[in-house]
Amino acid sequence: MTIRVLYCGVDTLEASFAGTLSEGMAEKLDAAKSAAQASDSPVPFVLAGQTLYVHGSGSGKRAWMITDDRMLLFVSRSTKGIPPVTLKLRASALATYGHEALYAEACKVVAGLGEIVPNTLSRIDLAIDLQGFEFTDDDTKRLVCAAEYTAIHKEGQGTTYQIGKGDAVMRIYRKDAELKAKGKLSYARVWENGPDYNPSAPVWRIEVQLRGAILAELNARSVPVAFTKLGALFAFGMEWCQLRVPSADYTKKRWPVDPKWALISAAWGASAPEPRIRKASKMEREDRVVSRTIGACASLGAYSGQSDLLSVLMYALPVMEKYLKDHGMEFSDLVADKVARIASEEGLGF
């Protein structure tokens, strides 16, 4: 049976913003929250010329929750320990507007709260909807994954297979069954845009969820950077967890990759999996970085036959530039990730 791709895109995006609320904004939000509590329903609140709604409750340390049919904003009264604003984009809006356009609109809305700018991407889910692909309980035995956790959740006609439960998670499930159970059949309009959709056939979804440390290792802690490498991020997830074809080999990891899996992995476009950049659990102090850099330069000096520091650095520059090019990396992206990491450890992270 031919595998048909009906849709692929960003299904969930959560990000944080750094900065401060404008003068008087907290009082305006408090007034709106009180009005929402009194009426027992969200009240309109205009930000950047757009009408959203303030709810009568917050979320934990975040005093205010502001929403519309596209996004959820959680706003903090203080920047101590948590970012002033965290954002979650709704899956239905992401499918309708597209991830870039919707995130750009969200940034405009957030900027209406004060001197607030994008900080870090904390979670992104990449989804692909398929027909001609089936997955069963027995197929879980053919999965080879770095994560040991596997769970099967059954509810009505729907079954969700979850692999992993940390910073990397994969979910495989019947999307059409989920929508039918939730009464959200209008979502099928997304599939109807394609010529290959068969309304009588099941639709399976594969989701790759990446968070925190994994995003940092993949050099994708910035939303704009992540948007430039969605195919590579999805391919990483499909390599992190692979469906294999059983063979006579007793070692499961040596089984060949199922051709259907390789086909689905490439559906975002020709892309190699994003390489992980292993980092220490904490951002190193500057003096420690200098110490390690000197040691690395001494090693390069030994390889190049140079003993003068400037000569070693001149030798290193083209070598490092070639390394970055060969690995499809931008040095500015690495710096941006480090900046976000420092901000996170100063209490601005999500």
Q: What are phi and psi of 247, to 5 degrees?
A: -135, -175
What pLDDT does residue 285 have?
66
pLDDT tier for residue 284 given thresholds of 50, 70 and 90: low
CA torsion angle 108 110 116 121 (round to 10)? -100
Higher confidence at residue 159 or residue 121? 121
Q: What are phi and psi of 287, to 5 degrees?
A: -65, -35
Distance, first Cα to last Cα, the chain: 43
Residue 101 and residue 202: Cα distance in Å, rounded? Answer: 30
- What are 328's two structure tokens? 């499809």
Residue 13 and residue 123: Cα distance in Å, rounded? Answer: 6
Q: Which pLDDT tens digit goes with each residue over 58-70?
A: 877 889 999 999 9
| Inter-residue contact 216 to 234 (CB < 8 Å) | no
- What are 234's two structure tokens? 């999805």
DSSP state letters, 205-235 = EEEEEEEHHHHHHTT--SHHHHHTTHHHHHH
Strand segments (E) across the chain: 4-21, 43-47, 50-54, 64-67, 71-75, 85-89, 114-131, 143-145, 150-155, 158-163, 168-174, 204-211, 241-243
Taking 60 as the threshold, does the pLDDT of residue 349 lie above it? no
What pLDDT does residue 62 have?
87
Residue 169 and residue 163: Cα distance in Å, rounded? Answer: 6
What pLDDT does residue 276 have?
59
Residue 171 and residue 151: Cα distance in Å, rounded? Answer: 10
Q: Picking from 81-90, 121-130, 206-215, 266-275, which range would have the lowest pLDDT averaged per residue?
A: 266-275
Taking 90 as the threshold, does the pLDDT of residue 140 lie above it? yes
Q: Which pLDDT tens digit goes with each residue over 26-41?
A: 999 999 999 999 999 9
Residue 130 and residue 205: Cα distance in Å, rounded? Answer: 6
- 114-131 β-sheet, strand order: 43-47, 50-54, 64-67, 71-75, 85-89, 4-21, 114-131, 204-211, 168-174, 158-163, 150-155
Average pLDDT over residues 246-274: 83
Averaged pLDDT score across all residues of the chain: 86
| Inter-residue contact 102 to 94 (CB < 8 Å) | yes
What pLDDT does residue 333 have?
65
What pLDDT does residue 245 have?
95
Percent of the chain predicted with pLDDT > 90: 58
Taking 50 as the threshold, does the pLDDT of residue 124 lie above it? yes
Average pLDDT over residues 223-250: 94
230: which residues sit within 8 A by CB, 6+ positions away?
10, 126, 268
Taking 80 as the threshold, does the pLDDT of residue 120 lie above it? yes
Taking 90 as the threshold, does the pLDDT of residue 104 lie above it? yes
Average pLDDT over residues 154-171: 89
| Claim: this prediction has a pTM higher than 0.85 | no
Q: Which pLDDT tens digit goes with each residue over 328-346?
A: 667 776 776 565 545 444 4
Residue 347 DSSP label = I
What pLDDT does residue 257 have?
94
